Amino acid sequence: MVADSSTRPVRALLLEGIHPDAQSVLEKSGYQVESLGRALDADELAARLSDVHLLGIRSKTQVTDEVLAAAPELLAVGAFCIGTNQIDVAAAARRGVAVFNAPFSNTRSVVEIALAEIIALTRRLTEKNASLHAGVWDKSAAGAHEVRGRRLGIVGYGNIGTQLSVLAENLGMSVYFFDTADKLALGNARRCGSLDELLSEVDVVTLHVDGRPGNSGMFGADEFARMRPGSLFLNLSRGFVVDHKALRDNITSGHLAGAAVDVFPSEPKGRGDAFTSDLQGLPNVILTPHIGGSTEEAQQDIGQFVAGKFRDFIDDGATSMSVNLPQLDLGSRPGARRLVHVHRNVPGVLAKINGLLGESHVNVEGQLLGTRNEVGYVITDIGSGDTDAVLAGLAAMPETVRLRVLS
């Protein structure tokens, strides 16, 4: 597929109530933007994408290979959140569609809600609040504790886990962590060699793992049984990693003193939709509707960040922080014409590209090549010459997935 920058305007579709700053960034770049406050199912999404170049989603919209097949003009998908497991990123790469996300923008918001819930559960604030609303004055220190001196176990020591580790230590907690990758401990945090080791040591367990399929069902009856009696459990990562029935059983039996859950195996698509969970009705369980990163500050930062990645990709071909294409940024060269070429990652493609340029007496003023799994990506700035012949030759190459021409 060959596309020229003269085919403007670029059309963008933003779903699920993405922050208005994203629309502002894109509109300032001259793009046409449609914004919806809800997710779309596969059929409706496919029907809307026939002439869309940029798609912005959050966690509910599923971008499958079938959806991508119905979007021949689509150039990039932006996950305005941390996770990208709702997108078939490999299928997108095979079609030359870049995928971007916001891995850092809502880190602080998730950390703050985790700390707030740890304090609330440790002080039994949820139960005291419910008692007063029911007209019962229960002034007692029984079962209420300070977080200072308590042991926090963090499962998943990434961006969120590490920042939580630092702030929890500042509150006087002792921090233990477990991660399948080799991670450097911050401050006085102690690395555990296994999940079992962590569960046996700590008073509070909080999950901050990613959405890879291998994490499905990672925390169930066996793991809850290995937690210390009277400990607390939090999940602000992915709903499918926890067996909620097993969690309820351990809460009602008294083995666990409380829990806080922000993510669920099945979640409603829109605000106001009906919701059910095995954990409803338990006074010492905090349930929140997937709002760990939903602060105005975080959503604004995410909107600006991902929209900026869209703009840089469309205008300059930059793929910095793309999750599925090689990460390249050639920088701008005034007066040069830029060719952006996505191809199958096989030997000899760069030689073919430069051969076509040489045959047409087109000078290369700057060039970057990167490869990632099945896909190669080349950005080439060129001078004057027979560019029509070059474009025809590049489009005809059997390895070509997508070719764009930028002014």
Quick check: is 66 catalytic? Answer: no
CA count, 13 A, side-chain hemisphere, 161: 28
Quick check: is 238 catalytic? Answer: yes
**Of the residues 73, 267, 365, 399, which is catalytic?**
267
**Of the residues 19, 53, 95, 238, which is catalytic?**
238
**Of the residues 150, 290, 338, 402, which is catalytic?**
290
Quick check: is 267 catalytic? Answer: yes
**What SS3 string covers the chain?**
CEEEHHHCCCEEEECCCCCHHHHHHHHHCCCEEEECCCCCCHHHHHHHCCCCCEEEECCCCCECHHHHHCCCCCCEEEECCCCCCCECHHHHHHCCCEEECCCCCCHHHHHHHHHHHHHHHHCCHHHHHHHHHCCCCCCCCCCCCCCCCCEEEEECCCHHHHHHHHHHHHCCCEEEEECCCCCCCCCCCEECCCHHHHHHHCCEEEECCCCCHHHCCCECHHHHHHCCCCEEEEECCCHHHECHHHHHHHHHCCCEEEEEECCCCCCCCCCCCCCCCCCCCCCCEEECCCCCCCCHHHHHHHHHHHHHHHHHHHHHCCCCCCCCCCCCCCCCCCCCEEEEEEEECCCCHHHHHHHHHHHCCCCEEEEEEEEECCEEEEEEEECCCCHHHHHHHHHHCCCEEEEEEEC
Q: Annotated catalytic sites, by residue? A: 238, 267, 290
